[in-house]
């Protein structure tokens, strides 16, 4: 595999740092590398490939000579630099939500729709973290019979709010243990020993922006334009790895045994499903790795063609950094 020039935009954030780690782990064929961030982060050193890399301020000129730019920055920064990245001839694999629903921008989970990578015109979007984890878990069932509806509840780790979310939970737990009143800056309420049933902003229909992503992105990734999803997104006091409860209805009945067999053989999945022996996916078991664990598979008692399941996956890795790098690997093929 030929070596290519790679830049990470937003390299100092939680996802950006994880991208550096995953690039090294997967032995990505890098010739030249740049770690890019805002001016306030310029000059910082990050561990990379057994040494360190110095963070550079991102400017329009930063992308000259780059082949692939991995985006781990805000929507604003993604929109700001996308034209310069395309003008430089690089492919922008963007983790923000800025371009996900743009028709000409592929939205890709490599285990589900790798062929869509070929349709890019300079930008490929990484889906929302909960969408990636959920669809990786259910894609094998969709291949058996198209999914028509999904009811999902997400239990999202504080890592979804970036490095600040991780730090806030740890500090609040420490403050609580010391008898001090926890302070909330990243989240609107105390997250330690609490759950917050809102992620994203109000869309005007009773759902949040985060909740609508499961339907809108799911339709695009699985090529199911009629897919209907009702979703509730909840922030929970877990450091990393999101959990999702899913009840889905397929066009024809899929038995529990058939579902288990399909999920066990599905790329990116591991069947972890033995209720009698208390074996099921949990955040602690799925953190700091790239496989989506799937379990609690059972018939939906409200629908003849329904199944319910529970899945967990690392939000920072498969839900963000690793998925983006898998997309970059598809580009090299």
Tell me: do 81 and 229 sit in the same domain. Answer: no
Are 103 and 185 members of one domain? no
The pLDDT tens digits for 156-213 are 999 999 999 999 999 999 999 999 999 999 999 999 999 999 999 999 999 999 999 9
Please compute the mean of the pLDDT values over residues 71-77 and round it to a whole number: 97
Instruction: Give the Cα separation of 69 and 106 in Å (integer).
Output: 15
Whether residues 45 and 162 share a domain: the answer is: no
- Judgement on whether residues 310 and 325 belong to the same structural domain of the protein: no
Confidence label for 303 from pLDDT (cuts 50, 70 and 90): very high
Say yes or no: 152 and 24 in one domain: no
Asked if 143 and 332 count as a contact pair (C-beta separation under 8 A), the reply is no
| pLDDT at residue 261, as a whole number | 98
Residue 279: the pLDDT is: 98
How many structural domains are present in the chain? 2
- Report the chain's mean pLDDT, rounded to a whole number: 97
203 and 109 assigned to the same domain? no
Q: Within this chain, do residues 61 and 155 fall inside the same structural domain, yes or no? A: no
pLDDT over 90 at 148, yes or no: yes
The pair phi, psi for residue 12, each rounded to 5°, is -90, -10
Q: Are 11 and 20 in contact (CB under 8 A)?
A: yes
- The CATH number covering residue 117 comes to 3.40.50.720
Q: Would you please indicate which residues are annotated as catalytic (active-site) residues?
A: 129, 242
Work out the average pLDDT over 241-268. Answer: 98
Same domain, 326 and 195: no
Write out the residue range of the structural domain in which residue 8 sits. 4-127+320-332
91 and 191 in a single domain? The answer is: no
Which CATH number covers residue 265? 3.30.360.10
* 203 & 223 share domain: yes
Give the count of beta carbons closer than 10 Å to the beta carbon of residue 272. Answer: 22
pLDDT at 100 over 90: yes
Distances 146 to 6, 135, 222, 228 between C-alpha atoms, Å:
37, 13, 9, 12
Quote the pLDDT of residue 2.
87
Q: Are residues 202 and 236 in the same domain?
A: yes
User: Token digits for 74?
Assistant: 């805000």
Asked if 215 and 326 sit in the same domain, the reply is: no
pLDDT number for residue 99? 98
Cα gap 298→46, rounded to integer Å: 45
């Amino acid at each position: 595999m030929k070596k290519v020039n790679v830049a990470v935009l937003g390299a100092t954030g939680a996802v950006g740092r994880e991208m550096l780690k995953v690039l090294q782990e997967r032995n990505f064929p890098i010739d030249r590398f740049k770690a890019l961030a805002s001016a306030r982060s310029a000059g910082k050193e990050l561990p990379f490939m057994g040494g360190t890399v110095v963070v550079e301020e991102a400017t329009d000129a930063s992308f000259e000579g780059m082949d692939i730019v991995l985006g781990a920055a805000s929507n604003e920064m993604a929109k700001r630099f996308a034209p310069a990245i395309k003008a430089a001839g690089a492919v922008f694999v963007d983790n923000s939500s800025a371009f996900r629903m743009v028709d000409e921008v592929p939205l890709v989970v490599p285990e589900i729709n790798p062929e869509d990578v070929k349709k890019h015109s300079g930008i490929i979007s990484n889906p929302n973290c909960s969408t990636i984890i959920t669809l990786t878990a259910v894609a094998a069932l969709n291949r058996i019979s198209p999914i028509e509806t999904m009811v999902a509840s997400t239990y999202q780790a504080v890592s979804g709010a970036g490095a600040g979310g991780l730090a806030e939970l740890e500090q609040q737990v420490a403050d609580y243990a010391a008898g001090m009143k926890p302070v909330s800056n990243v989240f609107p309420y105390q997250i330690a020993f609490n759950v917050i049933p809102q992620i994203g902003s109000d869309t005007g229909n009773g759902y949040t922006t985060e909740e609508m992503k499961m339907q809108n992105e799911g339709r695009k990734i699985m090529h199911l334009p009629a897919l209907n999803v009702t979703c509730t997104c909840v922030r929970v006091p877990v450091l990393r790895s999101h959990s999702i409860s899913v009840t889905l209805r397929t066009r024809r009945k899929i038995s529990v045994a058939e579902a288990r067999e399909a999920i066990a053989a599905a790329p990116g999945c591991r069947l972890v499903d033995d209720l009698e022996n208390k074996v099921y996916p949990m955040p602690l078991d799925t953190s700091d790795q790239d496989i989506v664990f799937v379990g609690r598979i059972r018939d939906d008692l409200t629908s003849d063609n329904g199944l319910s399941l529970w899945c967990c996956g690392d939000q920072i890795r498969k839900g963000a950094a690793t998925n983006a790098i898998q997309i970059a690997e598809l580009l090299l093929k």
